[in-house]
C-alpha cells in the first residue's frame, strides 16, 4: 500500500468496493454481475374450478348496492264517469244524509240575507258529519266546513276593517264568494259529483 504523498497504483484503489468509480472501470473493464434469478411462475387456477364463494361482508355490500325496485305507480282515475254511474252511486247514499247536505248548502246560501245567522246554524249542523261518511259525502262536508269557517273569519275581519273604510268592500266580496260556493256545491250534489278538491279556496 502506498504511503501518504506517493502515487497510487490500481491495486491500491479501494473506491470500487464502496461504490465509487475506479480506474479499472474507467479503463473499460466491465464489472461482472451474477445471473439474474428467473421469475417464479404464477399459479393459475384451473378453468373448470368453481370460484370461491364471496365472503359474508362482500355479499352484504352487494345486496346493499342493488337498487330497489321502483314503486308501482297508482292507477290513474277514470277520466270520464257516465251520468248513469254517478246517479247509481248517489242512489246508494242514505236519503237522510243527502237531505242533510242539501240543507247545509241552503243555510250557506241564506247566510247573506240573514246576516250570518244561518251560517252559524250550518256550521253547527256540519260539525261532526265527517265521521262514517262515504267519500262522496265526505268531500261535500269538508267543502261546507271550509266555506263556513272561512266566511266566519272573513266576516270578523270585515267588521274590524269598517273603521278604516275597507270593511264594506271585504264584506261584499265575502257575500259573493259565499253564494257562489253554496251554488256550486248544490249543483255538484244534484249531479252526483263529488268535490274534487274540497279544501280549495275557489269553486
Residue 57 pLDDT > 60: no
Evaluate whether residue 131 is within a structural domain: yes
The total domain count for the chain is 1
Q: What is the dihedral of CA 119, 121, 122, 128, to 10 degrees?
A: 140
Evaluate whether residue 123 is within a structural domain: yes
Distance CA 10, CA 1 (A): 11
| pLDDT, tens only, 142-200 | 999 999 999 999 999 999 999 998 999 999 999 999 999 999 999 999 988 999 899 88
Q: What is the dihedral of CA 157, 162, 168, 170, to 10 degrees?
A: -20
Domain coverage including residue 122: 86-190
Q: Find, among 152, 150, 146, 112, the residue nearest to 127 by Cα.
A: 146
> Angle at Cα 143 formed by Cα 141 and Cα 144, nearest 5°?
65
Evaluate whether residue 133 is within a structural domain: yes
Q: Is 151 exposed, middle or buried (0-12, 13-18, 19+ CB in 10 A)?
A: buried
Q: Find, among 187, 192, 96, the residue nearest to 203 by Cα.
A: 187
Residue 55 pLDDT > 60: no
Evaluate whether residue 145 is within a structural domain: yes
3-state helix, strand, coil in the chain (%, to 5): 55, 0, 45
Sign (positive or negative) of CA dihedral 168, 114, 111, 150: positive
Evaluate whether residue 46 is within a structural domain: no
Residue 59 pLDDT > 60: no
Evaluate whether residue 136 is within a structural domain: yes
Evaluate whether residue 103 is within a structural domain: yes
Chain mean pLDDT for the chain:
76
Q: Is the model more confident about 81 or about 87? A: 87
Residue 18 pLDDT > 90: no
The pLDDT, as a whole number, for residue 176 is: 95
Evaluate whether residue 90 is within a structural domain: yes
Amino acid at each position: 500500500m502506498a504511503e501518504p504523498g506517493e502515487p497510487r497504483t490500481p491495486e491500491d484503489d479501494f473506491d470500487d468496493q464502496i461504490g465509487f468509480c475506479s480506474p479499472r472501470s474507467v479503463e473499460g473493464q466491465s464489472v461482472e454481475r451474477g445471473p439474474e434469478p428467473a421469475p417464479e411462475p404464477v399459479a393459475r387456477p384451473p378453468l373448470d374450478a368453481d370460484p370461491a364463494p364471496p365472503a359474508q361482508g362482500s355479499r352484504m355490500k352487494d345486496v346493499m348496492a342493488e337498487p330497489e325496485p321502483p314503486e308501482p305507480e297508482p292507477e290513474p282515475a277514470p277520466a270520464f264517469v257516465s251520468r248513469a254511474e254517478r246517479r247509481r252511486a248517489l242512489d246508494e247514499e242514505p236519503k237522510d244524509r243527502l237531505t242533510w247536505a242539501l240543507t247545509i248548502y241552503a243555510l250557506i246560501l241564506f247566510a247573506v240575507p240573514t246576516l250570518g245567522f244561518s251560517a252559524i246554524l250550518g256550521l253547527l249542523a256540519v260539525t261532526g258529519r265527517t265521521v262514517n261518511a262515504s267519500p262522496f259525502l265526505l268531500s261535500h262536508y269538508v267543502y261546507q266546513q271550509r266555506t263556513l269557517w272561512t266566511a266566519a273569519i272573513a266576516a270578523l275581519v270585515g267588521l274590524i276593517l269598517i273603521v278604516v273604510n275597507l270593511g264594506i268592500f271585504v264584506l261584499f266580496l265575502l257575500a259573493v264568494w259565499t253564494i257562489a260556493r253554496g251554488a256550486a256545491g248544490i249543483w255538484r250534489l244534484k249531479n252526483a259529483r263529488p268535490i274534487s278538491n274540497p279544501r280549495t279556496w275557489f269553486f
